[in-house]
Amino acid sequence: MRELQPLLENHGLLLLFLNVLCEQAGLPIPAYPALIVAGALAMQGVGAPLGVVLLVVVLACLLADVAWYLAGRRYGGFLLRSICKVSLSQDSCIRQSQNMYLRVGPRALLMSKFLPGASALSTTLAGMTRTHLRRFLAYDAAGSALWAGSALLLGVIFSDAVDHLLALLSDYAAIGALLIAGAFAAFIAWQLWQRQRLLSRSRRIPRISVEELENLREQGQLPVILDVRAHHEDEPSGIPGAIPVELNVSLKDLPGDLRDASIVIYCACPHELSAAMLAQRLNASGFTRTWALAGGL
């Protein structure tokens, strides 16, 4: 650790602060491994004390999260849809974080940082739903402390292993840098591949345009419409007569006998992913007249 340890001792807190701030701002730069290293160094007495590290990390989280919160209050659903468009997380994870917040409120902030892509969504939803700032700060600070504390605890428990790893990285700096860069590139590539795979599968589902749906309504042939949006106050009111359902709804819980009915599913997500996912499940179960509404709502 001859070269690496002085760097971490002298600039570790600043690097950790910037790492956490960037990740919480939405950049795909995982901070959890750095937190584990910080915990190990604190355990060995060569890094900042655990309490100081925890305070710095919580501060970085709050700075980024308050920005998302204020942006959510001002820009609402537009910002939420923009986050979904650029997120590397799968749509199911995005919906999971949305539904979790809408179901339990700001308590979701206690766990959102443990879910990929959920932190920015949850803090944005806190602003959209007009969660009181003081309440938001309390839950967000507690959630940030839980997230950071778990990583620091892992570093304390496995401090010897982390020390050995840092020594190897210091002795073989070039190889270590390549390994870290390769791991990061592999992580990004895997996320992109997963999302592209999901998009490719969703494109197999037939679409129906809003104009075509309106024509069917005018002809008195309006199909059964299922609404799989995550519902909150800032969403549009929806299509009259649509039946709200969860994305993972049990097919036996769907109303009436829909097997021979025409079904249109819509959501408010990019590429109609949620609608296409439910349509795919229905098709596989014998519901052959199923479409996703192009463009969503």
How many helices (DSSP H) and strands (DSSP E) are in the chain?
10, 5
Q: Do 11 and 155 share a domain, yes or no?
A: yes
Domains identified in the chain, total number: 2
- Is the pLDDT assigned to residue 87 strictly greater than 50? yes
Is the residue at 192 inside a domain?
no
Share of the chain above pLDDT 90, in %: 21
Q: Are 201 and 82 in contact (CB under 8 A)?
A: no
Residues 23 and 151 reside in one and the same domain: yes
80-89, 107-116, 201-210, range with greatest mean pLDDT = 107-116
- Give the pLDDT of residue 40: 86
Q: What's the mean pLDDT when you consider all of the chain?
A: 80
> Which of 123, 142, 161 is at the close of a domain?
161
Q: Are residues 22 and 154 in the same domain?
A: yes
Is the CB of residue 121 less than 8 Å from the CB of residue 113?
A: no
148 in a domain, yes or no? yes
Check the CA dihedral 186-191-192-196 and report its sign. Answer: positive
79: in domain: yes
Single-letter amino acid, residue 144: S
My answer on whether 122 and 236 are in the same domain is: no
**pTM of the entire predicted model:** 0.66
Amino acid at 171: D
Of 161, 190, 215, which one is at a domain's C-terminal end?
Answer: 161
* CATH assignment at residue 251: 3.40.250.10
- 272 and 153 within one domain: no
What six digits make up the tokens of 112? 């959102």
Range of the domain at 101: 3-161
Do 154 and 221 lie in a common domain?
Answer: no
Instruction: Report d(CA 242, CA 56) in Å as an integer.
Output: 48
Query: Is the separation of the CB atoms in 117 and 87 below 8 Å?
Result: yes
- Residue at 106 is within a domain: yes
Are residues 92 and 30 located together in one domain of the fold? yes
**Domain identity same for 104 and 7:** yes
Looking at the structure, tell me whether residues 140 and 17 fall in a common domain: yes
The confidence score (pLDDT) of residue 233 equals 44
Of 95, 130, 161, which one is at a domain's C-terminal end? 161
In b/e form, how buried is each residue of 78-100, taking b as 16+ CB within 10 angstroms? ebbeebbeebebbbebbbbbbbb
Task: Kindly write down the DSSP assignment for every residue of 52-75, as one continuous string.
Answer: HHHHHHHHHHHHHHHHHHHHHHHH
Query: Does some domain include residue 40?
Result: yes
**Helix (H, G, I), strand (E, B), or coil: what is residue 165?**
helix
pLDDT in tens, 96-128: 666 677 778 889 899 889 877 778 888 988 998
- Nearest-CA neighbor of 30 among 137, 127, 119, 154? 119
Are residue 132 and residue 23 in the same domain, yes or no? yes
- Range in 67-71, 223-227, 258-262 with the lowest mean pLDDT: 258-262
Whether residue 233 is found in the same domain as residue 131: no
Asked if pLDDT for residue 79 goes beyond 80, the answer is no
Q: Identify whether 178 is part of a domain.
A: no
Q: Are 198 and 94 in contact (CB under 8 A)?
A: no
